Structure 1
């Protein structure tokens, strides 16, 4: 199947999408968010949007939180079979449109120091490293991993 031919449908996500989100989350992350992380996010009013394919199957999403005039990108994922085909850029463009529509001055995110691929995507989208959060993420063997804090001015 040539995935580059898929014209994705973009839309808001919510509680009904948690099972689909978790399927992707568990495929793409060594330390995925839990069901509780997502339901707590939706209960707290955080917003999520994603892409669905021809069969209405979810294959990419992001979760954001508003903090005054800043947007905090909490989660961003593209399912494995769809990676490397430009969907991350398309989803990032939707994030930037969302930020503009909500008059956000900037977008902030954290990314694992070891996630070189994601850092490259973020840098390519105009994010710059502005700091480090020591021991921010859980890692293997009860260790912790630093997060690179990145920001993009809108």
Structure 2
């Protein structure tokens, strides 16, 4: 398993030059993983202009390469995962799980009662990942995603509630 370091990038940290490098690396991963709907560095940076949007990212401690990230919102009692991704050559090593756990702990510590997300109904790997982490389907957005063959795919809305015992910490 790869030793990683998890760091946070938010509105205050985007004022330094290091943040530009991180945003460029995030956009590069996006373009490789989400070919047809990748977010650019400018789009990601504009998300961070809102105080409720955040990014945590993982770097490989050995070579300091950015290898994964989670972009999320946290407003009052709800957190929402907007994107979570790991570089192709680092997948299946528990990095996304560590990012998800870190994000959930940060949000829960600041009052979140649940985490929401949406996922394509045909993204079986993502569905299995989220279910493994305690997410349950709560709704369907019919024909939400446009496919490249002009068909549509439903989005599943999932949530993971935090139990009261964890919220009390």
TM-score, normalized by length of structure 1?
Answer: 0.89
Larger radius of gyration between Structure 1 and Structure 2: 2
Match of 2:166 in 1: none
Q: Please say if 1:52 is aligned against 2:59.
A: yes
> Aligned to 1:111, which of 116, 119, 122?
119
Structure-2 separation of matches of 1:135 and 1:18 = 31
SS at match of 2:57: strand
Alpha-carbon separation, structure 1, partners of 2:78 and 2:155: 19
What is aligned with 1:31? 36
Contact 2:76 2:111 in 1 (8 A): no
Where do 1:37-116 residues align within 5 Å? Answer: 37-45=43-51, 46-53=53-60, 54-116=62-124
Secondary structure of the structure 1 residue equivalent to 2:72 = strand
Contact 1:71-1:104 within 8 A present in 2 as well: yes
CA contact under 8 A between 2:27 and 2:39: conserved in structure 1? yes
In the alignment, is the contact (CA less than 8 A) between 2:5 and 2:59 conserved in 1? yes
Aligned residues: 150
**What is the CA distance between 1:109 and its match in structure 2?**
0.2
Contact 1:71 1:108 in 2 (8 A): yes
Given that 1:31 and 1:138 are in contact with CA atoms closer than 8 Å, whether structure 2 keeps it comes out as no
Are the equivalent residues in 2 in contact too, given 1:50–1:91 (CA < 8 A)?
Answer: yes
Cα distance in 1, alignment partners of residues 147 and 43 from structure 2: 18
Structure 2 unaligned blocks of 5 or more: 163-169
C-alpha contact 1:31 1:139 (8 A) present in aligned 2: no
